[in-house]
Structure 1
Amino acid sequence: MSEEKKETKIEEKEAAVVEQKETDMMLSRAYKFEGQTYEKLDLSGMEDLTAQDMIDASRYMRRIGFSNMDEEMDLPYALFMASKVTGLPIEFFDALKPYDAIRIRGRMLRFFYNPA
């Protein structure tokens, strides 16, 4: 491969990294939902979450039959919060593959428990 082609590939990779924000989460595959294709999720809205959002998530958990002291550790709680953050309906998150759902839960847990 010529030097010029190598440099072009490196520049393309760097551009892709710059284009992806720190709060973006790439999905393991593209998901089609309501006629739109999603390859990544923008989780930047986590910074705007409020205690009321957490209360709403707790109510959601009770409504679907979950009762746990550490609700924020449960997958449905994290997916509900991701729904709040992204503006996508909970049905979008219900259709994710397990790998992506667990990664979302991990992102939410790190956000809740890591000091800013």
Structure 2
Amino acid sequence: MADRDKVVNVSVAQDITVEGPNSENSMVITFSRKYNYEGEEYGQVDLSGLEDMTATDMIAANKILEKSGSFSFLPEMSLEYACIISARATKMPLEFFQRLHPRDAIKVKNKVTSFFYGEG
């Protein structure tokens, strides 16, 4: 057998992370049902804009939270704060997040909170 006809099997172990809409690491949240907001239907929201935020964005969110009359020792754990941060991250109106179905609002809150605490 000539050298060019030899078959070599090489096995390489790799740590591969797949980030599709359904993976834990994805910043895309799929809604439990279609969501109609201002005449448009949404099935998901992409929170990858969280990656580009700064402490300035968080401070601005705190100010909005304070103006609303809400108070929390850990604002980043509140649903209202998560909605404010999500609106800034996606450039969507705050009302988009405030009108989500409760199950989907909790998905958003959990994703924002886990992002802040480095869990995904």
- In the comparison of the two structures, how many residue pairs are matched? 100
- Superposition TM-score, scaled by structure 2 size: 0.76
Are residues 68 and 26 of structure 1, via their aligned partners in 2, closer, same or farther at CA, if it must alter by over 3 Å?
A: same
Query: Deviation of residue 20 (structure 1)?
Result: 3.0
**5+ unaligned residues in a row in structure 1: which ranges?**
1-16
**Partner-residue secondary structure (3-state), 1:66:** coil
- Displacement over 4 Å in runs of 4+: none
Deviations 1:55-88 (A, max 9, x none): 0110011111111211111110001011111111
Q: Show the counterpart of 2:103.
A: 99
Q: Structure 2: 5+ residue runs without aligned partners? A: 1-17
RMSD over aligned Cα atoms: 2.0
Identity rate, percent:
38
Q: Which amino acid aligns with 1:100?
A: D
- TM normalised by structure 1 equals 0.79
Q: Distance in 1 between matches of 2:101 and 2:35?
A: 10
Letter in 1 for 2:21: Q
Which one has a larger percent helix, Structure 1 or Structure 2? 1
Q: Distance in 2 between matches of 1:60 and 1:34?
A: 23
Equivalent residue, structure 2, for 1:20: 21
Larger Rg: 2
Higher mean displacement: 40-49 or 19-28? 19-28
Instruction: Please show how residues 8-87 of structure 1 align to structure 2 within 5 Å.
Output: 20=21, 22-87=26-91
